[in-house]
Amino acid sequence: MAERKYWDLEIETMPLGALKKLQLKRLQEVIGRAYEKSVFYRRRFDAAGIKPGDINALNDITKLPLLKDSEFRAAPVTERITVPTSEVYKVCSSGGTTGTPSPFPRTAKDWEEMVNKNCRAFWMVGIRPGDIVQIRPMYECFGVACTKMGASNLTICAGRGNMDNQIKLAKMMNATIVIDGLALLVQYLRRAEELGISIRDTKVRGAWGIGEGWADSFTKKMEARWGLTFLPRAYATSDMGALTACECDERKGLHIFADKCLFEIIDPETQEALGPGKDGELVVTTLTLEALPLIRWRASDITSLLPYEPCACGRTLPKMSPIKGRIAFSVKVAGKRVYPSDVEEVVADVPGLGEEYQIIADKPGELEKLKVKVEVESQVKDLEALKRKTEAAFNQRLGVESEIELVPLGTMERAVWKAQRLVTTYAKS
């Protein structure tokens, strides 16, 4: 019997014209519900002079006001939701990466949608029935998705959150896939080494780093070091509810789950719409979330929509490029905007450097030099030569002058979830 190729054959191979019709139908439904049921959205739409009946084509979405995350979170949840609180089935939350965690009420239908989106992404990256998946992040919907797919999983509480115990349990239970935040995944692999457990000698075949983007050169470096495969990249925010875009085996961009959301790209400064292939800020409109829809929500993540073409994998879903980073975590150096992913590409390519690095902003505004603090592997003897080589690599790859500080392996503070790649050392007024 041939293996199932897609999790959702109809949607993943839907002709583009039919997909756009589905998007418009769902967009009109979510706009109508938000206007009728949400005090927050009705107030915003009225202020912009927009009624649900004004949305008759996908392009009409630009008539609606853009939504800053700070505005959305500042409003009481009871004003934002579009269902009675009695219909709230679960309450999820953000991780608080850029501030206080925010609650996300979900209906039973929302929860089912989240699980199904995760199933689609899990299947796309190669997780299959029979896999034993260790899920280290506190995402209940991941475990439910594994169960629905027929994959076993080490539950979130296995090991009680203790990394050493989880590493040992993964070996005892012959785990085949490990899912974690990217920075924590590197810690996990290094800690296994310290415990005398060679990942190459276990059944682990794949690692999936989520919550952060990562560079191609970093992926190659990690795969060569630990002898496993880093599964294709995916994109999500807690606000959107589960995974919403994912690479297939072709790894030529992330397939957008366009039946679930509508993505736009804007210039973050002028708010002008940008065409395919141009990097800008991602703007998200969810099409299927019931309790707490996002309508033209500015995600603060930098990416681009790719020129449309069917993928060799057979999927017809549109694509986006991997996330370059968040605007707030970038710096401007000599007229150029530099993101952590740009720095990571260089760090991963220079032999002798570790995985941990930080971009140092020592004054407000634009910097003359890119300042990077990075760990060095313990076997490196000539630190001055490595420093010169690294600075030359930044100049060649990014076209900026740099000032590199090399520190011993293990001396930089480790992440508890996402790595802190930008450090501000000046006093803010």
Q: Is residue 82 part of a domain?
A: yes
Q: Is residue 348 part of a domain?
A: yes
Question: pTM for the full model?
Answer: 0.89
CA distance 350 to 386: 9
- Residue at 337: amino acid letter: R
- Tokens 């007229």 locate to 335
Tell me the CB-side half-sphere exposure of residue 103, using CA atoms within 13 A. Answer: 13
Q: Is residue 117 part of a domain?
A: no
Average pLDDT on 165-185 reads 92
Average pLDDT on 321-337 reads 88
The pLDDT-based confidence of 97 (bands split at 50, 70, 90) is low
Which tens digit of pLDDT belongs to each residue from 198-225?
Answer: 999 999 999 998 877 777 888 888 888 8
Q: The tokens of 25 are what?
A: 């139908």
Query: Which of 231, 253, 278 finishes a domain?
Result: 231
Q: Is residue 220 part of a domain?
A: yes
Are the C-beta atoms of 188 and 163 separated by less than 8 Å? yes
Lowest mean pLDDT among 94-108, 262-276, 390-404: 94-108
- Residues 38, 104 within the same domain: yes
- Residues 107, 135 within the same domain: no
Average pLDDT on 296-314 reads 95
CA distance 106 to 82: 10
- Residues 253, 218 within the same domain: no
Q: Is residue 261 part of a domain?
A: yes
- Residues 261, 295 within the same domain: yes
Query: Which of 253, 287, 313 finishes a domain?
Result: 313
Split into its structural domains, the chain has a count of 3
Tell the burial category of 91 from Cβ atoms under 10 Å away from its Cβ (0-12, 13-18, 19+). exposed
Per-residue pLDDT at 108 exceeds 90: yes
- Residues 226, 239 within the same domain: no
- Residues 411, 349 within the same domain: yes
Q: Where are the beta strands (DSSP E) in 241-385?
A: 243-247, 254-256, 261-266, 280-286, 297-303, 319-320, 325-326, 331-333, 336-338, 353-361, 370-376
- Residues 247, 386 within the same domain: no
Range of the domain at 367: 330-424
- Residues 201, 279 within the same domain: no
- Residue at 413: amino acid letter: E
Q: Is residue 43 part of a domain?
A: yes
CA distance 181 to 187: 10
Q: What angle do CA 372, 229, 257 make, to 5 degrees?
A: 85
What's the chain's average pLDDT? 91
Per-residue confidence (pLDDT) for residue 340, from 0 to 100: 87
- The CATH number for 46's domain is 3.40.50.12780
The pLDDT-based confidence of 1 (bands split at 50, 70, 90) is very low
Q: Is residue 386 part of a domain?
A: yes
Q: Which positions ≥6 away from 105 have C-beta within 8 Å?
A: 77, 81, 83, 85, 88, 90, 91, 291, 292
Per-residue pLDDT at 314 exceeds 90: yes
Query: Which of 278, 313, 348 finishes a domain?
Result: 313
H or E element in which residue 92 lies: strand 90-93
Average pLDDT on 78-106 reads 84
- The CATH number for 407's domain is 3.30.300.30
- The CATH number for 216's domain is 3.40.50.980
Per-residue confidence (pLDDT) for residue 96, from 0 to 100: 59
Average pLDDT on 119-131 reads 96
- Residues 248, 280 within the same domain: yes
CA distance 156 to 273: 41
- Residues 359, 304 within the same domain: no
Are the C-beta atoms of 159 and 172 separated by less than 8 Å? no
- Residues 150, 245 within the same domain: no
Q: Which positions ≥6 away from 329 have C-beta within 8 Å?
A: 339, 340, 421, 422
Per-residue confidence (pLDDT) for residue 416, from 0 to 100: 64
- Residues 266, 400 within the same domain: no
Per-residue confidence (pLDDT) for residue 95, from 0 to 100: 64
Q: Is residue 122 part of a domain?
A: no
